[in-house]
Amino acid sequence: MTFPGLTWLKAPRADTAQTASVADTVSAVLAAVRERGDDAVRELSQRFDGVAPAALEVTREEREAAVARLDPQTRRDTEFAIGNVRAFAEAQLACLRPLDAEIIPGVHMGHRVIPIARVGAYVPGGRFPLLSAPVMTIVPAVVAGVREVVACLPPKAHEAMVAGCHLAGATRVFRIGGAQAIAAMAYGTRSVPRVDKIVGPGNAFVNEAKRQVFGPVGIDQLAGPSEIYVLADATGDAETIATDLLAQAEHDTRTRVGLITTHRPLAEAVIAEVERQLATLSTASVARPAWEAQGEVAVAEAEEAMIAYSDHVAAEHLQVHTADPHAFGARLSSYGSLFIGELASVVYSDKCSGTNHTLPTMAAGRYTGGLWVGSYVKVATHQWLTPEGVRAVAPPAARQSASEGLEGHRRAAQLRLDRLQAR
């Protein structure tokens, strides 16, 4: 690897690119569900998940029973996360206000903030029961005012995930996973209503399915493997940094983890500390391959090079461990979510602190942010004119239309002006 001002002590050696076989498999899944609905969903569930639920939808009674069976502390922790995510979403929504403005005399414009009518939330099962997953996709939708939130999770997902969907506020919950879940929500089946937008992360098949159905339905983003980068100077602590890198590495063998630092001794210490911790980490069977294949550690000649590379990577999770992390963080412009200072661990956001953990990957942080309450609303514009406004805008609109050869446009622009002048 090469980048101006950087020297790698450990470079990534694996390509996490999508394979053509995934796209082909997903295309077949989508076609089957579109053509045969619930029957195809059940067949595909049996094929990919090893189980075909007789009833695809989880009844309210089943959902309430799952909540009742939750370990009391798990329920309290889940409700703590829900409360924090809700509070932050409400604070964000308060920034989205209807607008009415008179741009020039007689020309009034504005916008409304309109909740999406029906949203589909994909809730991944993964290797572990990710209890925060339904919170992050469902709670902001409820805060935004979405009328119906449809949640899909794999048939073998832990019962606590069903409880999480219910506590988070899902309107309906279905035992459907993978690409077939995306297809069911995108096209609709006898059991599953067609949604207007699909949100939530998943595996490569889920991601590809979202890509292929986009257009007739909206999607939040295309999520790749999880990413964490740490930017540090000589004040960084090797144990803390290594711990945070491995916390993300245990998600998936394709997770990208990296340290960029201006202090070579810290870089060397982190590499050694990662190896030390891997020796006793219970999830090392996942974390080690991720570290060995995608892990990178680089030394920057100066802060400017560190910042430039960070903005190039646009990491999903970006931690700043420097002497003045707030000032340093203000110089960064491309990331999914920023964690300022050593005390701000990605894990806190992953689980319960309140910011959303569904974030852009694969450098998408260069042009978009993560999932938030604004992902569940439409900001739709409107305008209205007084006679004074028509007199201002009609002449240039008519002239532009004529110069473009659009006679119908010219007539529409001129008609109102002519009628006003005839009065």
Spatial distance between the Cα atoms of 20 and 27, rounded to a whole number of angstroms: 11
In contact, 74 and 162? CB cutoff 8 Å? no
Spatial distance between the Cα atoms of 418 and 411, rounded to a whole number of angstroms: 10
In contact, 43 and 143? CB cutoff 8 Å? no
Helix, strand, coil proportions of the chain in percent (round to 5)? 50, 20, 35
* 193 and 83 belong to one structural domain: yes
Beta carbons within 8 Å of 237's beta carbon, 6+ residues apart? 321, 342
Three-state secondary-structure class, residue 279: coil
Active-site annotation holder among 273, 296, 316, 342: 316
Residue 148 corresponds to which tokens in the numbers above? 């119906």
* 360 and 268 belong to one structural domain: yes
Question: Is the residue at 258 inside a domain?
Answer: yes
Name the E strands within 33-104.
57-58, 99-104
Q: Which long-range contacts (CB under 8 A, 24 or more apart) does 184-188 make?
A: 184/33, 184/37, 184/41, 184/152, 185/120, 185/122, 185/150, 185/152, 185/217, 186/30, 186/120, 186/213, 186/216, 186/217, 187/30, 187/33, 187/34, 187/213
> Which domain CATH number covers 28?
3.40.50.1980
* 48 and 192 belong to one structural domain: yes
Q: What is the mean pLDDT of each run of 10 residues along the chain (423 residues)?
A: 95 70 96 98 96 94 97 96 98 97 98 98 82 96 98 94 97 97 98 98 94 97 94 98 98 96 98 98 97 98 98 98 98 98 97 96 96 98 98 98 98 97 89
- The pLDDT assigned to 18 comes to 54
Angle at 266 between CA 16 and CA 244, to 5 degrees: 50
Residue 43 corresponds to which tokens in the numbers above? 């067949």
Select from 152, 185, 220 the last residue of a domain. Answer: 220
- The pLDDT assigned to 17 comes to 55
Give the residues across from 119 on adjacent strands: 149, 197
* 205 and 292 belong to one structural domain: no
In contact, 199 and 121? CB cutoff 8 Å? yes
* 212 and 232 belong to one structural domain: no
Spatial distance between the Cα atoms of 52 and 43, rounded to a whole number of angstroms: 7
Active-site annotation holder among 208, 273, 296, 317: 317
Spatial distance between the Cα atoms of 249 and 289, rounded to a whole number of angstroms: 9
- The pLDDT assigned to 423 comes to 84
Select from 173, 204, 220 the last residue of a domain. Answer: 220
Sheet with 377-385, side-by-side order of all strands:
99-104, 107-115, 377-385
Question: Is the residue at 39 inside a domain?
Answer: yes
Question: Is the residue at 178 inside a domain?
Answer: yes
* 161 and 30 belong to one structural domain: yes
* Residue 396 belongs to domain spanning: 386-422
**pTM check: above 0.85:** yes
Active site includes 404? no
Q: What is the DSSP letter of 376?
A: G
* 189 and 319 belong to one structural domain: no
- The pLDDT assigned to 343 comes to 98
Give 288-349 as a DSSP string: HHHHHHH-EEEEESSHHHHHHHHHHH--SEEEEESSSHHHHHTT----SEEEESTT--HHHH
Active site includes 239? no
- The pLDDT assigned to 130 comes to 81
Q: What is the DSSP letter of 18?
A: P
Give 364-375 as a DSSP string: GGGT-----GGG
* 184 and 205 belong to one structural domain: yes
Select from 179, 201, 220 the last residue of a domain. Answer: 220
Sheet with 337-340, side-by-side order of all strands:
6-10, 296-300, 256-261, 227-232, 317-321, 337-340
